[in-house]
């Protein structure tokens, strides 16, 4: 029994020495983990600083781009409220009729239901200059109406102020701006829209080439609107400001200096 007790004591001492070595290894690993944790925290802070610096650079480039090359502004139209005109021509018109006309002018039929649009008909949005504008309510029917008319009318087009020309030019510039913004922000666009000349000298642009049919034109506009909304979502633009049909207005909100997360 005494010899067995001695053997047990020796084994216990071996286990104790081994436990001490394991404890030293454990403490060494904990010190190493703390060093790695401090290093990761330092690198994370440096990475966050670099992200902020990169975001500021992107924001600066975008604001320069949209102030010098692609300025986007709201243009007040000279259209008078039909309720005002009607009330002047008919003194007997009741105030309820006037208010109903004003309300109807601010209402848009969208996706099977009537929605209120405070900007409908009041303003237009210009890009690169006050003469290149898009209707604020997203109604580009003047373009394909002009295309249909050109099919039946022979001879050169002498109407330089044709709204179809300004619509086509504005959408062309908007596409070029969106593609440039995707490069600056490093955001892949969900839809592909080309805005360049191919080697055969034929225009490969969706809007500034040959006259598009109503189907192709509507399809291209939808792709452009989808790309703009995708950029707005990536930069955390306030969703309450966005409208799926307001091409340039959504773009204006995206590149606005008030957009806090622009460049993220």
**Segment 170-221, tens digit of pLDDT:** 999 999 999 999 999 999 999 888 766 544 444 456 677 667 778 888 898 9
DSSP string, 179-194: HHHHHHHT---SS---
**pLDDT score recorded for residue 180:** 93
Token look-up 């005109």 returns 85
In the chain, the percentage of residues whose pLDDT exceeds 90 is 45
Taking the domains of the chain in order of start, what are their residue ranges?
136-263
| Torsions phi, psi for 38 (to 5 deg) | -65, -40
**pLDDT score recorded for residue 187:** 93
State the pairing for strand pair 113-116/123-127. Answer: unpaired
Give the C-alpha separation, 147 to 209, whole Å.
13
**Segment 74-107, tens digit of pLDDT:** 887 654 444 444 444 444 445 566 566 656 655 5
């Amino acid at each position: 029994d005494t010899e067995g007790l001695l053997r047990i004591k020796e084994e216990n001492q071996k286990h104790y020495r081994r436990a001490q070595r394991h404890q030293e290894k454990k403490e060494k690993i904990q010190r190493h983990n703390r060093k790695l944790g401090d290093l990761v925290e330092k690198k994370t802070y440096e990475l966050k600083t670099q992200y902020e610096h990169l975001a500021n650079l992107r924001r600066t480039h975008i604001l320069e781009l949209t102030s010098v090359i692609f300025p986007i502004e709201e243009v007040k139209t000279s259209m008078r409220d039909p309720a005002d005109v009607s009330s002047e021509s008919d003194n007997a018109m009741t105030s309820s009729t006037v208010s109903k006309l004003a309300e109807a002018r601010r209402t848009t039929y969208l996706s099977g239901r009537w929605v209120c649009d405070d900007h409908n008909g009041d303003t237009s949005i210009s890009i690169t200059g006050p003469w290149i504008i898009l209707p604020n309510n997203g109604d580009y029917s003047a373009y394909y109406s002009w295309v249909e008319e050109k099919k039946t009318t022979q001879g050169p087009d002498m109407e330089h102020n044709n709204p179809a020309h300004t619509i086509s030019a504005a959408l062309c510039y908007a596409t070029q701006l969106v593609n440039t913004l995707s490069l600056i922000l490093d955001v892949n666009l969900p839809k592909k829209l080309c805005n360049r000349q191919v080697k055969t000298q034929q225009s490969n642009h969706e809007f500034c080439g040959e006259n598009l049919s109503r189907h192709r034109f509507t399809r291209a506009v939808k792709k452009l609107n989808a790309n703009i909304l995708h950029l707005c979502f990536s930069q955390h633009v306030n969703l309450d400001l966005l409208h799926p049909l307001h091409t340039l207005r959504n773009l204006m909100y995206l590149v606005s200096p008030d957009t806090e997360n622009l460049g993220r």
